[in-house]
Amino acid sequence: MATLDTIKQILQDNLDIDPDTVNEDSTLDSLDLDSLDLVELIVDLEDAEGIDFGEPEGLETVGDIIDHIESLK
Protein backbone atom coordinates (compact mmCIF):
# COMPACT_ATOMS: atom_id res chain seq x y z
CA MET A 1 0.00 0.00 0.00
CA ALA A 2 1.30 3.45 -0.89
CA THR A 3 2.14 5.74 2.00
CA LEU A 4 -0.58 8.23 1.04
CA ASP A 5 -3.16 5.44 1.04
CA THR A 6 -1.93 4.29 4.45
CA ILE A 7 -2.28 7.82 5.83
CA LYS A 8 -5.78 8.14 4.36
CA GLN A 9 -6.82 4.83 5.93
CA ILE A 10 -5.42 5.74 9.35
CA LEU A 11 -7.11 9.16 9.30
CA GLN A 12 -10.41 7.60 8.26
CA ASP A 13 -10.23 4.85 10.90
CA ASN A 14 -9.07 7.05 13.78
CA LEU A 15 -10.57 10.46 13.08
CA ASP A 16 -13.41 9.86 10.61
CA ILE A 17 -11.70 12.08 8.03
CA ASP A 18 -12.99 11.49 4.50
CA PRO A 19 -10.07 10.02 2.53
CA ASP A 20 -11.18 11.94 -0.57
CA THR A 21 -10.25 15.17 1.23
CA VAL A 22 -6.68 14.04 1.92
CA ASN A 23 -3.87 14.62 -0.59
CA GLU A 24 -0.18 15.49 -0.44
CA ASP A 25 -0.97 19.21 -0.32
CA SER A 26 -3.40 18.89 2.60
CA THR A 27 -2.13 20.81 5.60
CA LEU A 28 -2.39 19.34 9.06
CA ASP A 29 -4.38 22.43 10.05
CA SER A 30 -6.85 21.98 7.18
CA LEU A 31 -7.46 18.43 8.42
CA ASP A 32 -7.97 19.76 11.98
CA LEU A 33 -5.17 17.60 13.36
CA ASP A 34 -4.01 18.71 16.78
CA SER A 35 -0.75 17.60 18.38
CA LEU A 36 -2.32 14.51 19.96
CA ASP A 37 -3.86 13.49 16.62
CA LEU A 38 -0.45 13.87 14.99
CA VAL A 39 1.21 11.68 17.63
CA GLU A 40 -1.44 8.99 17.10
CA LEU A 41 -0.96 9.20 13.34
CA ILE A 42 2.82 8.87 13.69
CA VAL A 43 2.54 5.84 16.02
CA ASP A 44 0.19 4.12 13.59
CA LEU A 45 2.46 4.98 10.64
CA GLU A 46 5.47 3.55 12.48
CA ASP A 47 3.58 0.28 12.93
CA ALA A 48 2.25 0.19 9.37
CA GLU A 49 5.52 1.15 7.68
CA GLY A 50 7.94 -0.59 10.08
CA ILE A 51 9.92 2.59 10.75
CA ASP A 52 11.04 4.78 13.65
CA PHE A 53 9.61 8.17 12.73
CA GLY A 54 11.81 10.12 15.14
CA GLU A 55 10.97 13.73 15.98
CA PRO A 56 11.12 15.69 12.72
CA GLU A 57 10.35 19.39 12.67
CA GLY A 58 8.52 21.42 10.09
CA LEU A 59 5.82 18.94 9.18
CA GLU A 60 3.01 21.05 7.79
CA THR A 61 1.47 18.92 5.04
CA VAL A 62 0.68 15.29 4.34
CA GLY A 63 3.38 15.50 1.66
CA ASP A 64 5.93 16.50 4.32
CA ILE A 65 5.02 13.37 6.30
CA ILE A 66 5.31 11.18 3.18
CA ASP A 67 8.71 12.69 2.29
CA HIS A 68 9.98 12.05 5.81
CA ILE A 69 8.80 8.43 5.75
CA GLU A 70 10.37 7.84 2.35
CA SER A 71 13.68 9.25 3.64
CA LEU A 72 13.66 6.57 6.37
CA LYS A 73 13.22 3.60 4.05
Out of 34, 37, 44, 67, which one is annotated catalytic? 34
Give the separation between CA 45 and CA 17, rounded to whole angstroms: 16
| Active-site residue flag, 67 | no
- Residues annotated as catalytic are 34
